[in-house]
A and B are shown apart, each in its own frame.
Chain A
């Protein structure tokens, strides 16, 4: 549903003497959002984001998002889990050190050896899964810098519709390329419906 007819955009003006937090541009069309993201990506902005009610195919590419680093965190933690699983079984069941306070106990069960890798693999496997799951969940939160208790888009009254039927691009004033005039002109040139100025 690409919209070709010209739209009128309402543009707010920054207020004198108030601290500018950033701009928020509203779209009612997902194609225009993707198109706008490409413009910001090509202009070299870094501290900006897209907000949509559902995952938008191709938006990662339009925003120039690099592949996530979470996979390496997961790999490292998964391997740590593997080694932990192996180590605790060895420590608890394969050896005992008299005199050491926290030491293991050699269980003798139906003639099995104290130490045999096949028996240890299920625990090693489960520990790998557990550590990897934690790493991917908390790694995702960390890489996304979540949880955030405040974000400048929270100052907007219109932003609530991002969970319903509107799409937004937010540009933070902390972006090194941010300029009160130029950024505003650039956003005004996109096919949005409402350009909001967010101030403290």
Chain B
């Protein structure tokens, strides 16, 4: 039956599907990002360097999570042969396709690990552990937690991100833009569909080990078998919030005004709601099993995070990251509302940032044994790194987008996607 809304692929080509002059900001943003990172290291020499590194890791994993979420989202849509998401798929493809560039923002972390500095990743030098029992625990993990293997893994992650994000997903999608309909185009889509299923498995594992290496190993004694899923839940929240905001921004600049409809925002809202609940489920499952088993090397992680300075933030995560957005996003009215959904997205992005703050920064207090009773240890470097890596990340995104269309104009399923309707009263 005929829908009143929905445009044709020909109309999409006239719906301003290019960044145009917005892309010019790309190299500038990348330059600002590099300058701020350099300035951060120059300004934070000596004793301030330790705290700066923690801020750096915090914001690095935050922006990585958004792009990894984009990669997994694109893969799962190919596995499911989804047609609804085709018109909005180019933005996650750009994010996934620019993921490999984030390797360069990770170089300071590689340098840190290889410099033998034990102030952040303590496992780089086992001999420094005074407590013999603790030393034994870290020694048992040495086959995994050693500098050389860390280097190899870190490089491999980005090789995988390049192969899947850039070489497979984005390349094929861009190639189809101006290709005539036919067998060759369909073969391209079929190949992506076939490779996406193993790709989903591989990239999920890569994400898990990425989270273990960068966040979990900040406390080499502690371990949680569901930490990868915890990172994933947060990553998807960060990703869907970012998607809502990127599309609001693009549409306010006159891009894709007809193509992306309230139906797509409704689906972003549904995903965001689902992952808010998923995050609550995972975060609580991790907490309860550790609480229930009550083993010292497991409870130490939560012991810091629910006592002293951290108690207010722990409660705030429970209500701000789970209960409140759950009640807020459950309403269909809000998910389909122009402004309220964006408010929810901004809120969740801030809370996702705080979630990583809550994961990373307490380890600074544990290692230094400092500043208990002084409230939450926010530092200027948190904001500096947010801007530095944020500009770097956004620059990579805009450079990857460049002159390319910001919707997959030639995808075999594009016409179907433009007619998508949630079919509600």
Measured CB to CB, the residues of A under 8 A from B are 2, 30-31, 34, 56-58, 60-61, 65-67, 118-119, 121-122
Which residues of the other chain, A, contact B288 by a CB distance below 8 angstroms?
Answer: 118-119, 121-122
A154 to B126, CA, bound (A): 81
Whether A57 contacts B284 in the complex (CB less than 8 A), given A34-B1, A119-B292, comes out as no
28 CB contacts below 8 A, A to B, read A2-B2, A30-B1, A31-B1, A34-B1, A56-B1, A57-B1, A57-B421, A57-B423, A58-B1, A58-B3, A58-B423, A60-B423, A60-B424, A60-B425, A61-B425, A65-B425, A66-B425, A67-B425, A118-B287, A118-B288, A118-B291, A118-B292, A119-B288, A119-B291, A119-B292, A121-B284, A121-B288, A122-B288
Q: Number of B residues whose C-beta is below 8 Å from A?
A: 12
Which residues of the other chain, B, contact A122 by a CB distance below 8 angstroms?
Answer: 288
Main secondary structure of the interface of A (DSSP, over half): helix
Measured CB to CB, the residues of B under 8 A from A are 1-3, 284, 287-288, 291-292, 421, 423-425
Q: Which residue in chain A gives the minimum CB-CB distance to B424?
A: A60
Please name 8 further chain A to chain B contacts, defined as beta carbons within 8 Å, in addition to the given A57-B423, A58-B1, sorted by A numbering: A2-B2, A58-B3, A60-B424, A118-B287, A118-B288, A118-B292, A119-B292, A122-B288
A90 to B217, CA, bound (A): 39
Kindly provide the distance from the CB of B279 to the nearest chain A CB, expressed in whole angstroms: 15
Which residues of the other chain, B, contact A67 by a CB distance below 8 angstroms?
Answer: 425
Q: Which residue in chain A gives the minimum CB-CB distance to B422?
A: A57
Which residues of the other chain, B, contact A119 by a CB distance below 8 angstroms?
Answer: 288, 291-292
Which residues of the other chain, B, contact A60 by a CB distance below 8 angstroms?
Answer: 423-425
Kindly provide the distance from the CB of A195 to the nearest chain B CB, expressed in whole angstroms: 23
Kindly provide the distance from the CB of B321 to the nearest chain A CB, expressed in whole angstroms: 16
Kindly provide the distance from the CB of A57 to the nearest chain B CB, expressed in whole angstroms: 5
Kindly provide the distance from the CB of A48 to the nearest chain B CB, expressed in whole angstroms: 17
Which residues of the other chain, A, contact B423 by a CB distance below 8 angstroms?
Answer: 57-58, 60
Which residues of the other chain, A, contact B1 by a CB distance below 8 angstroms?
Answer: 30-31, 34, 56-58
A31 to B421, CA, bound (A): 17
Kindly provide the distance from the CB of A200 to the nearest chain B CB, expressed in whole angstroms: 35
